[in-house]
Chain A
Amino acid sequence: MPRPVIQTWGLSKRYGDVKALSALDIEVEQGEVVGYLGPNGAGKTTTIRLLLGLIRASAGRAEIFGVDCQRRPVEVHRRLAYVAGEANLWPSLTGAETLHLLGRIQGSVDTAYRDELVERFDLDPSRKVRAYSRGNRQKVILVAALMTRPELLVLDEPTAGLDPLMEQEFRHCIREARERGQTAFLSSHILSEVEALCDRVGILRDGRLIEMGTLAEMRHLSALSVEATFDGPVPDLAGVVGVSSVRVNDGVLRCNVYGPVQPLLKRLATARVRELLSREPSLEELFLAHYGNGHEPERDPVRGG
């Protein structure tokens, strides 16, 4: 089996007393699109800047394509492209000049694809960067990254400032990239984007990776959301194994279930249920479960299974 595209061993970064990233172990296989989630300040950008060699690791190491990305960043950068969340470009250059410059520094550009991307992102390359809106500047660095056909895309909140249409276009581009076998590491705040694009998701909190897996795996570990409407009195769910977060409102009961649903169904059957809905949690709910309630994952003390 080939080595992972990205691999880290105990990668850490401290700023004085602040631990920005603690002992990160992560692997990204070739052809995967991996989402990287976490609230502001969780360490997402720190991770990416370490991977790019822009900042020095306090401990641990990281390899991309089997090359140490802290010691030999230039070698690594030949095969990847990076999109930052904020496009800080040279205000006096035009879009076309910027793309030309960045292409020349990269060393290889698929010019036909570049022109296609400019078209698809509806970018006017004759305008100066100073005259671009924030979204348009973001398009410039997106095009600059994609046009080099990199083996690995490192994306740090890449759609900040894009309108919904352009956001869709971005998703198309990433899907196309994956179909061609390119790998992507996507840090994002937009959970629907991650849900739509990513094979696996890592969740970061306070500089630690607290979850890593496919969405299906993560859902499995998480609660099922149940909503029941009654004709008549609502049954008491106290003591039912696996049930938590019970809310009752106007004859409608909502709760979460971990593990088997059998005990809950038994109890519900004692009352006159008119409607019963259940669904898997969305990524947003998974995310909030990890960060809501004073940053403690919501888990039931009476856990079933």
Chain B
Amino acid sequence: MAADVPASVLPPPPRLALPQASAVPGAGTVVIRQTARRALRSAVLWGYVSGLSVASTALSYAATYTTTAQREHLAALFGTNGGTNAIAGPGYELQTLAGFTVWKSLMFVTVAGAVWGLLLSTKLMRGEEDAGRWELLLAGETTPRRAASQGLAGLAVAWCIFFALTAVITVVVGHSSKVRIAAGPALFFSLALACGAAMFFAAGALASQLAPTRHRAASYAGTALGVAFVLRMVADSGTGLTWLRWVSPLGWVEQLQPLTSPRPLALLPIGGLVVVLCLLTVHLAGRRDLGASIIADRPSADARVRLLSGPAGLVVRLTRATLTAWIVAVALTALLMGLIAKSGGSALSASSGIEHLTSRLGVSGAGAAAYLGIASLIMAVLLTFVSAGQLSATRGEEAEGRLENVLVRPASRSVWLAGRLSVTTVALVLLGLATGVFFWLGAVTQDSGVGLPRLLAAGLNVVPPAIFVLGAGTLAFGIVPRATSAVAYSVLAWSILVEVVGAAVTTNHWLLDTSLFHQMAPAPATGADWTTNIVLTAVGVVAAVLGAVAFQRRDLAGE
């Protein structure tokens, strides 16, 4: 039939007259809604954290520094101090409540928001794709580009919730008679607080296109954040390299200078970066196959079986990349803290105002040791993050069904769990030692006068809170497995909130004592409190044992 007619002349096959499938309402936005829904809880949580950190700083400043002299004194100390500025960013108009609040909360919220942003966006973009859920969505009429745009739109919804909560709390607090910040500037401040999250949502989304796995995507975006942080740290540490601030996205956030001398122009590079990253994300999504990545994964590899001799070896094999990255990150952070300890510590010297503030954190005295005491609190937070992350991974093995491969063979649940907990514990001790050694390496170059034994003790002193979180999370894993991560991160978030926020606004010891970091003595500013450390560790171990017993008796539970 029509053999000599060119194919292009033939009519297309007629459309079948099938019963019309009615359009499902909202089918075109399914990825947006899915992404936004999965992001909702953490957006609300982080919105509160950032709003409350502003509120507490402003209110505690208003209550603590009541005289002009006190405020001038505070400003004189911190305004020019490279050590503290390297951590918190440069301070402007610190003699005012507005200036001090911005200085105290902007960098903290920006970095916390960026970490949240990159973890969440890689989870919801790459993680969902890895899990095969996008395959279902894309089998419909959605193209990869449209799906990626919708994923971004879903993240944008989450960002808006985060921003809105921050803004509402900031505006309401600004309205109070003690604080008095007008709504307009308060909104600009809230926007500045949310910039870190926006940029790293986009960075995470782009990394999700580049990297073959969620894990890898998070580490690419995390590396970018690390570089940005170090660049602005150098720029702010009084080395005369302030121009570097314009190279780092975190520097742009500082340049916004909200509440003191707002520079909306600095929004341009921030907005520009977000737009470029989003456009690249969508472009690359269309350039690759589903499940594939721009930076190709090697599909084959030579067998390396040295570690693969049992459940414990498997844990080492699966977690060594993550734990090594943590050790490097902790070592670098500790080194930087050590390097700036002496200059930072001088700000704490001979200042009744500051002493008042830091003594609330449990730090007394002055000099490099006092500075490293505050730094050790930050290290303790990092270590508890490692615990919480490892607990998530442990639960992930069960939830995603991989654990069954081990447990249907002659390996008991307790042996498997003990393997995981031991590897994490060893890693935590190594991280503690790295903290001490690298504090010392940094400090010794500056002649800080704090010796290695004292700093090693300070390093080991940051481990017990992380062991406690590991134990509490394991107990949750045994009793309510699906809440493992939530429990571990809640203990962590609560402790941070009480320590950072609570220490400034209240002296109620019942409340403060619920923070793990308040329990911890800030060595080397004070001596390590070994009794408390033994109690924290023992409670952690008992909780872990109870968790293991409960795990032995319960059903394995999927997602």
Q: Judge whether B555 and A56 touch: CB under 8 Å.
A: yes
Q: Judge whether A126 and B300 touch: CB under 8 Å.
A: yes
Q: Judge whether A128 and B408 touch: CB under 8 Å.
A: no
Q: In the docked arrangement, what's the CA distance between A128 and B302, Å? A: 10
Q: In the docked arrangement, what's the CA distance between A84 and B401, Å? A: 10
Q: Judge whether B408 and A82 touch: CB under 8 Å.
A: yes
> Are A91 and B299 CB-contacts (below 8 A) given A52-B408, A102-B405?
no
Q: Judge whether A74 and B411 touch: CB under 8 Å.
A: yes
**Does A104 belong to the interface (CB within 8 Å)?**
yes
**Does B332 belong to the interface (CB within 8 Å)?**
no
Q: In the docked arrangement, what's the CA distance between A134 and B485, Å? A: 29
Number of interface residues of A (CB under 8 A): 38
Would you give the 0/1 interface string for A243-266, flagging 1 where the beta carbon is closer than 8 Å to chain B? 000000000000000000000000
Q: Judge whether B299 and A131 touch: CB under 8 Å.
A: yes
Stretch of A28-36, A93-101, A276-284, A294-302 on the interface side? A93-101
Partner among A90, A91, A106 whose Cβ is within 8 Å of the Cβ of B409: A106
Partner among A89, A97, A106 whose Cβ is within 8 Å of the Cβ of B305: A97
A residues 49-74 near B (Cβ < 8 Å) are: 49, 52, 54-56, 73-74
A residues 123-154 near B (Cβ < 8 Å) are: 124-128, 130-131, 141
Stretch of B168-176, B308-316, B380-388 on the interface side? B308-316
Give the Cβ gap from A304 to chain B, nearest Cβ, in Å. Answer: 44
> Are A96 and B303 CB-contacts (below 8 A) given A52-B408, A88-B401, A105-B409?
yes
Q: Which of B213, B300, B317, B556 has the most CB of A within 10 A?
A: B300
Give the Cβ gap from A105 to chain B, nearest Cβ, in Å. Answer: 4
Q: Judge whether A56 and B554 touch: CB under 8 Å.
A: yes
| Chain A residue, CB-CB nearest to B305 | A100
**Does A77 belong to the interface (CB within 8 Å)?**
yes
Q: Judge whether A94 and B303 touch: CB under 8 Å.
A: yes
**Does B318 belong to the interface (CB within 8 Å)?**
yes
Q: Which of A78, A89, A104 has the most CB of B within 10 A?
A: A104
Q: Judge whether A127 and B300 touch: CB under 8 Å.
A: yes
**Does A169 belong to the interface (CB within 8 Å)?**
no
**What residues on B are CB-neighbors of A141 within 8 Å?**
405
Give the Cβ gap from A274 to chain B, nearest Cβ, in Å. Answer: 39
Q: Judge whether B303 and A88 touch: CB under 8 Å.
A: no
Q: Judge whether A102 and B409 touch: CB under 8 Å.
A: yes
Q: In the docked arrangement, what's the CA distance between A124 and B407, Å? A: 26
Q: Judge whether A100 and B308 touch: CB under 8 Å.
A: yes
Partner among A55, A77, A91, A131 whose Cβ is within 8 Å of the Cβ of B408: A77
**Does A2 belong to the interface (CB within 8 Å)?**
no
Partner among B300, B309, B409 whose Cβ is within 8 Å of the Cβ of A94: B300
| Chain B residue, CB-CB nearest to A145 | B408
Q: Which of A81, A82, A93, A125 has the most CB of B within 10 A?
A: A93
Q: Judge whether A130 and B213 touch: CB under 8 Å.
A: yes
**Does A305 belong to the interface (CB within 8 Å)?**
no
Partner among A54, A84, A105, A128 whose Cβ is within 8 Å of the Cβ of B411: A105
> Are A88 and B400 CB-contacts (below 8 A) given A94-B300, A105-B406?
yes
Q: In the docked arrangement, what's the CA distance between A77 and B407, Å? A: 9
Give the Cβ gap from B300 to chain A, nearest Cβ, in Å. Answer: 4
**Does B301 belong to the interface (CB within 8 Å)?**
yes
**What residues on B are CB-neighbors of A104 within 8 Å?**
308-310
**Does B304 belong to the interface (CB within 8 Å)?**
yes
Partner among A55, A77, A82, A106 whose Cβ is within 8 Å of the Cβ of B556: A55
Q: Judge whether A101 and B300 touch: CB under 8 Å.
A: no
Q: In the docked arrangement, what's the CA distance between A223 and B299, Å? A: 53
**Does A92 belong to the interface (CB within 8 Å)?**
yes
**Does A206 belong to the interface (CB within 8 Å)?**
no
Q: Judge whether B297 and A130 touch: CB under 8 Å.
A: yes
Q: Judge whether B553 and A105 touch: CB under 8 Å.
A: no
**What residues on A are CB-neighbors of B302 within 8 Å?**
126
Q: In the docked arrangement, what's the CA distance between A131 and B317, Å? A: 19
> Are A78 and B410 CB-contacts (below 8 A) given A56-B553, A141-B405?
yes
**What residues on A are CB-neighbors of B407 within 8 Å?**
52, 54, 73
**Does A107 belong to the interface (CB within 8 Å)?**
yes
Q: In the docked arrangement, what's the CA distance between A52 and B304, Å? A: 30
Q: Judge whether B297 and A105 touch: CB under 8 Å.
A: no
**What residues on B are CB-neighbors of A131 within 8 Å?**
297, 299-300
**What residues on B are CB-neighbors of A92 within 8 Å?**
213, 318
**Does A86 belong to the interface (CB within 8 Å)?**
yes
Q: Judge whether A128 and B556 touch: CB under 8 Å.
A: no
Q: Which of A97, A100, A101, A141 has the most CB of B within 10 A?
A: A101
Q: Judge whether B299 and A100 touch: CB under 8 Å.
A: no
Partner among B314, B408, B554, B556 whose Cβ is within 8 Å of the Cβ of A101: B314
Q: In the docked arrangement, what's the CA distance between A93 and B404, Å? A: 16
Q: In the docked arrangement, what's the CA distance between A73 and B300, Å? A: 35
Q: Judge whether B405 and A89 touch: CB under 8 Å.
A: yes
Q: In the docked arrangement, what's the CA distance between A126 and B318, Å? A: 18
Q: In the docked arrangement, what's the CA distance between A102 and B406, Å? A: 7
Q: Judge whether B297 and A101 touch: CB under 8 Å.
A: no
**What residues on A are CB-neighbors of B318 within 8 Å?**
90, 92
Give the Cβ gap from B543 to chain A, nearest Cβ, in Å. Answer: 22
Q: Judge whether B301 and A94 touch: CB under 8 Å.
A: yes
Partner among A73, A81, A97, A125 whose Cβ is within 8 Å of the Cβ of B308: A97
**Does B212 belong to the interface (CB within 8 Å)?**
yes
**What residues on B are CB-neighbors of A52 within 8 Å?**
407-408
Q: In the docked arrangement, what's the CA distance between A102 and B309, Å? A: 9
B residues 90-146 near A (Cβ < 8 Å) are: 130
**Does B412 belong to the interface (CB within 8 Å)?**
yes
Q: Judge whether B409 and A77 touch: CB under 8 Å.
A: yes
**Does B509 belong to the interface (CB within 8 Å)?**
no
**What residues on B are CB-neighbors of A88 within 8 Å?**
400-402, 404-405
> Are A100 and B409 CB-contacts (below 8 A) given A56-B554, A105-B310?
no
Q: In the docked arrangement, what's the CA distance between A124 and B213, Å? A: 22
Query: Nearest 10 A-B pairs (CB), nearest first?
Result: A88-B401, A131-B299, A55-B555, A101-B308, A96-B303, A82-B408, A105-B409, A126-B300, A100-B305, A78-B410
A-B contact pairs, 8 of them (CB 8 A): A54-B404, A73-B407, A74-B410, A90-B402, A94-B301, A97-B303, A101-B305, A104-B308
- Known: A74-B410, A74-B411; 18 extra A-B contacts, CB below 8 A, are A52-B407, A54-B404, A54-B408, A55-B555, A56-B553, A73-B407, A75-B410, A77-B408, A77-B409, A77-B410, A78-B410, A84-B401, A96-B303, A102-B405, A102-B409, A105-B410, A126-B303, A141-B405
